[in-house]
Amino acid sequence: MNDEAKQWINRYIDAYQIVTRRINARMRESFDLGLTSEQFQILRLIDGQPGCTSTYLSEALCVGKSSITAMINRLAEAGIIERTRDENDRRLVYLAISENGRAIYETAEEKVLEVISPYLMNFDKDKIEQFITMFERLAQLMQDPGGRNE
C-alpha cells in the first residue's frame, strides 16, 4: 500500500470517528424516549424490512445472534416491537414495530433529522448528493468481503 492510500485511509478513519461519535452523542441527548442509537437502528431496519427476522438484523448490523436476541428482548419487553411466529414454520419469528413503538420510532426519526440536517445544510445540494452517492457506493463495496463489487 502506498503512502497516499495510507493517508486517505487515516483521513477517512479520523473523520468517520469524529462524525459517528458526535452524531451518536447528539442523538443520545435528543432521545428522551429511553431509546439508544442501536435500538433506533434496529427499529429502522425492522421498519424497512417486511418479514424481518433476528437473523436479518444480525447480518445487517454485523453482530452476533446472541447480541441481537438481547436487544430484541429489551425492545419486546418495553412493548416497542412484537414477535409473530410463521404459521407454516414455527421456528421462524418475524419482528414488527408495535403501535406504541411506532410513535416512539417516528419521534426518534424526527429527532435524528433535527440532529443531522443542520450539518448537511452547510453544503450545496449537488455536494450533498455527491457525498451520499459516494458513501452509498462505499457501503455497497463493504457488502463484499473482498471490497470488490463486480
| pLDDT tens digits, one per residue of 69-104 | 999 999 999 999 999 998 888 889 999 999 999 999
Within a domain: 149: no
CATH classification at residue 17: 1.10.10.10
Does residue 8 lie within any of the structural domains? yes
Is residue 147 scored above 90 in pLDDT? no
| Of the candidates 69, 101, 63, the residue with the CA atom closest to the CA atom of residue 82 | 101
72 occurs within a structural domain: yes
Q: Which domain holds residue 38?
A: 3-142
150 located within any domain:
no
Number of domains the chain is built from: 1
Q: Flag whether 147 is in a domain.
A: no
Alpha helices in 1-150 (DSSP H): 3-30, 37-48, 54-61, 65-77, 99-120, 125-142
7-16, 51-60, 74-83, 106-115: least confident range: 106-115
Phi-psi map region of 94: left, alpha, beta (phi>0 left; psi -120 to 50 alpha): beta
- How confident is the model at residue 27, as a pLDDT? 78
Instruction: Please indicate, yes or no, if residue 105 is contained in any of the structural domains.
Output: yes
